Amino acid sequence: MSNITLRVYRGNSSGGQMVSYEVPKAPGMVVLDAIHYIQKNLDTTLACRWNCKAAKCGSCSAEIDGKPRLMCKTSVEDYPEGVITVGPVRAFPILKDLVTDVSWNFRIASKIPPLQVREEAAGKPFVLQQVDVDRVQEFRKCIECFLCQDVCHVIREHNRKDAFFGPRQMVRIAGLEMHPMDDLNRREQLRAEAGVGMCNITKCCTEVCPEHIHITDNAIIPMKERVVDDYFDPVSGLLRTLGVLPKRTKKPFKSVPNEQTVIVGNTTLAAK
Ligand code: SF4
Ligand code: SF4
Ligand code: FES
């Protein structure tokens, strides 16, 4: 059986280096298998995060040969030359080896209010058009791997976590904004603190999404259009004032201050 060479980042917040390991190749092997081989046979101190090994928990995100990917979904056969580099995602602070601190994503998630059901629909079964179900269903496939957040240059290169929630949270907000029963003015959040205008539609996030969510085309661009329509389009504004277009009647959005976002275990809650 031939070997593969895994060059794995070893280090912490103070620094580190790439370390090479020789791993025997096995049929159907994925990069996460190779990491587990190292942990079991070569160095038990190697840290990585994983849970399902089925591309469904979103835990094993890493940069494989420099590209954000899930380790459990990446076959070693994709690298026929037999040398594979594995590093942590670079947009978030490193804790140890391949493990990074992605808690910022959960704190931001806690600033996004859940579905606010319209008064007339409260307590009743939702009656929805299939087209409306289909539109938001795609967004529910997100496994929160944060590979899209990792590749987005607004977060990664410019570190504008202060001004942009990132593509994952755009998907989340889009799923709520497009929900026919939702009654909250989410466009105010999108325009202001979520920073939808910071995205310049490079589509890098869409390219790396393991769930093949059309993040840019189906979530971000429609959200941009809705914000422009409400806040920056003088014609729509005039038509609304004249009563030609209906006035927006959704409940006003209230921001959760940063200091009131907390993380409890694996979930997030906005502090009461
Ligand atoms: S399309 Fe927008 S959100 Fe996606 S990576 Fe590019 S700038 Fe970031
Ligand atoms: S949108 Fe796709 S890439 Fe982003 S966190 Fe969800 S599953 Fe991962
Ligand atoms: S281990 Fe769950 S997504 Fe890879």
| Mean pLDDT, range 158-168, rounded to an integer | 97
Question: Which ligand sits nearest to residue 167's alpha carbon?
Answer: 1
Nearest atom in ligand 2 to the alpha carbon of residue 208 is: 3
- Look at residue 272 and tell me whether its pLDDT is greater than 80: no
167 Cβ closer than 6 Å to some ligand 1 atom: yes
Q: How far does residue 146's CA lie from ligand 2's centre (Å)?
A: 5
pLDDT per residue as tens digits for the range 51-110:
999 999 999 999 999 999 999 999 999 998 889 999 999 999 999 999 999 999 999 999
Output the pLDDT for position 42.
98
The closest residue, in CA terms, to atom 4 on ligand 1 is 205
- Look at residue 161 and tell me whether its pLDDT is greater than 90: yes
Distances (CA, A) of 70 to 32, 57, 98, 145, 252: 8, 10, 12, 8, 39
Output the pLDDT for position 270.
46
Q: Which residues are bridge partners to 1 per DSSP?
A: none
Q: How far does residue 26's CA lie from ligand 2's centre (Å)?
A: 29
| Mean pLDDT, range 108-133, rounded to an integer | 93
Q: How far does residue 120's CA lie from ligand 2's centre (Å)?
A: 33
Tokens of 61: 């995100």
Output the pLDDT for position 259.
81
Tokens of 140: 């529910």
Measured on CA atoms in the order 141, 142, 147, 150, is the torsion positive or negative? positive
Among 213, 214, 216, residue to substitute to test ligand 2 (most atoms within 8 Å of Cβ):
213
Tokens of 143: 């496994």
Output the pLDDT for position 241.
87
H helices of the chain, in order, are 31-37, 103-109, 130-137, 147-151, 153-156, 167-177, 186-191, 204-208, 221-227, 234-241
| Average pLDDT of every residue of the chain | 93
Output the pLDDT for position 248.
77
Residue 256 carries which DSSP code? P
Nearest atom in ligand 3 to the alpha carbon of residue 60 is: 4
106 Cβ closer than 6 Å to some ligand 2 atom: no
48 Cβ closer than 6 Å to some ligand 3 atom: no
| Mean pLDDT, range 103-121, rounded to an integer | 94
| Mean pLDDT, range 144-164, rounded to an integer | 97
Output the pLDDT for position 249.
83
pLDDT per residue as tens digits for the range 206-252:
999 999 999 999 999 999 999 999 999 999 888 988 988 888 789 99
- Look at residue 268 and tell me whether its pLDDT is greater than 50: no
195 Cβ closer than 6 Å to some ligand 1 atom: no
145 Cβ closer than 6 Å to some ligand 2 atom: yes
Output the pLDDT for position 264.
57
Can you tell me the distance from the alpha carbon of 223 to that of 175, in angstroms, rounded to the nearest whole number? 10
- Look at residue 24 and tell me whether its pLDDT is greater than 80: yes
Superfamily in which the 3-100 domain is placed by CATH: Beta-grasp domain (3.10.20.30)
170 Cβ closer than 6 Å to some ligand 2 atom: no
CB 120 within 8 A of CB 180: no
Output the pLDDT for position 271.
41
Q: How far does residue 166's CA lie from ligand 1's centre (Å)?
A: 7
55 Cβ closer than 6 Å to some ligand 3 atom: yes
Output the pLDDT for position 247.
80
- CATH top class, domain 103-270: mainly alpha
| Domain locations in the chain as residue ranges | 3-100, 103-270
